[in-house]
Structure 1
Amino acid sequence: MVRTPVRTTSKVAQVMDVIRHRVERRQLTPGARIPSVRAMAETLTVSKSTVVEAYDRLAAEGLVEGRPGSGFYVAAPLAPLRLLPADSQTDPTVDPLWTMRQSLRPSGTGLRPGCGWLPESWMPEDALRRALRTLARDGRAATLLEYGSPQGDETLRTLIARRMADQGVEAGPDQVLLTDSGSHAIDLICRFLLESGDTVLVDDPCYFNFHTVLRAHRAKVVGVPYTPTGPDLTAFRTAVEAQRPRLYITNAALHNPTGATLSAAAAHRILKIAEAHDMVVVEDDIFGDFEAEPAPRLAAFDGLDRVIRIGSFSKTLSASVRCGHIAARSDWIAGLTDLRLATGMASSPLAAALLVSVLTDGSYRRHVERVRAQLARRRGPVLDRLGALGIDAWHVPSAGMFLWCRLPPGCDSADVARIALAEDVVLAPGNAFSVGGGAADFMRFNISQMDDRRIDGVLAEAVARLR
């Protein structure tokens, strides 16, 4: 790759930076014609001679090439995808992947109140072992040796369709595609519907992996403030009208990181705005099984017309049994299935068989009921413990594992996270979830990972030091 020279503030350098930026974001790909000298001069309000000099320098670097009588074209190969710019000065503590990297590093004694999953001791290991033994005795070699069907195991897709019906989402198994995970589902949807430079709306705050996937697809990410009943509808409408986004990606049930629940009124308004502006809505529902009562679903109101629903069993059953799904219009499922085959073949028939076993023998239902009860018992005491430290909940969720909390005045959550990491306690600072960077005084806590009272001591020390 051509080495980029030191950038200056000259007008020639500004023109060069514009072209470099478009190539890096894949808005301009190899062979694409770059803006004419006249068009670039008018866009940036510079002279034509400035643009000519900038293009000549880019040609000398090998980034573009001139074709007599035709103009300039991108000549350099695509640079490898990066989730952050090479010269980024972003605080690594609020890099969206920082919490996940710290949570997954080997540690025998580390505490993980900032992670996004349940403790191993809460998971139905015995049920999974029984399912594995049943499959081992079954003697069906195809489950162990062959590729799965392109759309995924039909029995599991039928079970998923029935489970969605319990939440008011009507869909047949032909409208369900199995994926490797919820994140894989989002990646496939982005590949299917987005082009580089498209605008995508997300909640602010939102699940940090939305940020990273959208960066990989070179999307323009716009955040909308989130409230306890859904996105701020005035800001949402304004953003849609001004930015013309292709997608809106959200959690409707048990929002991550806030634990809030979308109201029916907000859901109706979101769908009216989406329809008026031809916007597709992606509803991430991976925490829905933690609900005591089903909340309003965008997919239920919409009937999977312009809403795509995704889900996964990674948070509720097992992170090792990788299986998610996409529910959407049948014509979109056909295209997504082809894309699934082109980029990763079919989903695992072994994972599907395991899931079918635990979903049909009653063990999964009993497991999620126990988890709901455990979370409900712990929510109040955890809120009290945090409140005693001056850490107050932005919203008290009705269910789920997350609490979105404001720290005492003077405390930056990134600083608190760094202090805690020195004690092998991994926290989730607020700006990892915020597109606009406005959550420095917030932090996400996982109720299920808060049993150890050493966490209180680490938080108390960090708060005292910063105040």
Structure 2
Amino acid sequence: MRDPVGSRTGAVVEAIRRRLAVPGLAAGERLPSIRGLAASLGVSPSTVVEAYDRLVAEGAIRARPGAGFYASRPAAALALADAATPADRAIDPLWVSRQSLDAAPGMLKPGCGWLPAGWMPQAALRRALRDLARAEDPLLADYGEARGSPALRRLLSRRAADDGIDAGPDHVLLTASGTQALDLVCRALLRPGDTVLLDDPGYFNFQALMRAHRVTVVGVPHTPAGPDPARFAEILAAHQPRLYVANAAIHNPTGATLSPQVAHRVLTAAAAHDLTVVEDDIFADLEPEPSPRLAALDGLERVIRIGSFSKTLSASVRCGYVVARPDRIAALTDLQVATGFGGPSPVAAQLVHGILGDGSYRRHIDALRRRLSRARREVASRLADLGIVPWLVPRGGFSLWCRLPEGRDAAEVARAALAEGVVLAPGAVFSPSRSSTDFMRFNVAQMGEPRIYDVLGRALRH
């Protein structure tokens, strides 16, 4: 990390860097003493000490106690081509994630699953960070409680009550992320060879995580009202899955909303076959009006709710949660301590609690829903000019699940777009059956750059 322009210590650091860059300076060569360099540069010895310490920390020089400071062997340069995900990587459930996460600067990412940084509540985040800087020492240095911040768990239990879920703080466990919440549930309930039911299409990282747990995945067709209830019951009878993992509220990738009738049929079938349901509620705050919640209808008897704030607050501040029966929370807490020695950073939990509790998050969400509503209309209109049609018009969220013009393969379109610096999300990665090959998910919040439509048009003609 470079020092601020004009910083005295920063100027000394740059002077030493220039000295290290002199041709012929060998690794292991001794650098000037602290007092000698201070005198030659006209600064205090403490400034040189700080400069040397920073260069030691970044590995540019080495300190030998009692003997001074010495030049290090230059580190090999990191080539962007080495750091990036290969463009020819197989298009599988991890393809979109890896291409989006490892995208080079300047690449456009309408296929990614998060909002642009400028859409997040930056002012509230900075204010919360300033408050954290004044926090007491234990918050900044100690481990947190095994179940996570009591204050945030109380707040999350009140939010659950607003959704009709009777859950006290003892029903809530904080985790390092929403993905880790699901991973803990899988560790607790699944064994290699078990069968898990996923929506088809459904969130691709559910498939990737199930692959890591070495379980068999069976897809259930997803409709505008939720999973096809007849096929759901047939699959339960034929395969006896241990777990069903689904999105609540706004389905990823389709944008569909669960209907009350389908919700009741799903829970009736789950009870008949002793099936545990994991309801991922990560998009709940993006709904204009609440839709049915399996966790509320079931009373947390066989439904486990998970979520996080990475889609609406910050993907950098990782903090997830589980809402479940107290006996399940106790078992998951032990498992989390055994595998990670606790949940989210207490600093992250405090930051999330501060923003959720001061009213700024509610205002941010209200504005975000309006902005996304406009973006969905605008993007749908632009895509229609290319012959790309949404499967349905979502009630909320930032995804449009669209069918490409007849005969176009989404994987081929995605590869052609990637060659021009645009990351897309082809439909097959969302499908356990590898169908949906003519569909694509578009993130409307990431579609503001006009070049995306030019690249997409060329890719469709490719």
Which of the five TM-score ranges fits, normalised by the shorter chain? 0.7 to 0.9
Deviation at 1:106, TM superposition (A): 4.4
Task: Show the counterpart of 2:62.
Answer: none
The aligned residue for residue 207 of structure 2 is 211
Which residue does the alignment assign to 1:331?
Answer: 327
Match of 2:176 in 1: 180
Contact 2:174 2:319 in 1 (8 A): yes
Shift of 1:440: 0.5
Partner residue of 1:136 out of 133, 136, 143: 133
The number of residues matched between the two structures is: 374
Name the structure 1 match of 2:18.
Answer: none
1:55-108: CA deviations, max 9, x gaps?
xxxxxxxxxxxxxxxxxxxxxxxxxxxxxxxxxxxx945311111111112422
Matched, 1:127 2:116: no
Q: Which runs of structure 2 are paired with 1:62-461 in the superposition (5 Å)?
A: 92-138=89-135, 140-347=136-343, 348-461=345-458
Partners in 2 of 1:192 and 1:249 — Cα distance? 14
- Extract unaligned runs of 5+ from structure 1: 1-90
Does the 8 A contact of 1:93 with 1:414 survive in 2? no
1:129-173 CA-partner distances (Å, limit 9, x unpaired): 1111112123x1111110000011110001011111112222111
Unmatched segments (≥5 aa) in structure 2:
1-87
The answer to whether the 8 Å contact 2:248/2:283 transfers is no
What SS does the aligned partner of 2:327 have? helix
TM-score where L is the length of structure 1: 0.79
Q: 2:220 touches 2:228 (CA, 8 Å); kept in 1?
A: yes
What is the rounded CA distance, in whole Å, between the counterparts of 2:288 and 2:410 in structure 1?
A: 31
Q: What one-letter code is carried by the residue in structure 1 that aligns with 2:341?
A: M
Give the CA RMSD over aligned residues: 1.0
Alpha-carbon separation, structure 2, partners of 1:92 and 1:104: 14
| CA distances 1:34-75 after superposition (whole Å, capped 9, x unpaired) | xxxxxxxxxxxxxxxxxxxxxxxxxxxxxxxxxxxxxxxxxx
* Structure 2 residue identity aligned to 1:192: A
Indicate the residue corresponding to 1:39 in structure 2.
none
Provide the C-alpha distance between the structure 2 equivalents of 1:380 and 1:131, rounded to a whole number of angstroms: 33
| AA of the residue aligned to 1:423 | E
Question: CA offsets per residue over residues 414-440 of structure 1, 9 Å max, x none?
Answer: 000000001100000001100001110
Q: CA 1:458–1:93 in structure 2 vs 1: closer, same or farther (change >3 Å)?
A: farther
Q: Distance in 1 between matches of 2:314 and 2:381?
A: 30
TM-score, with normalisation over the residues of structure 2? Answer: 0.80
Report the more deviating stretch, 146-155 or 91-100: 91-100
Report SS of the residue matched to 1:110. Answer: coil
Work out whether residues 93 and 429 of structure 1, in 8 Å CA contact, stay in contact via their aligned partners in 2: no
Match runs of 1:53-68 below 5 Å: none
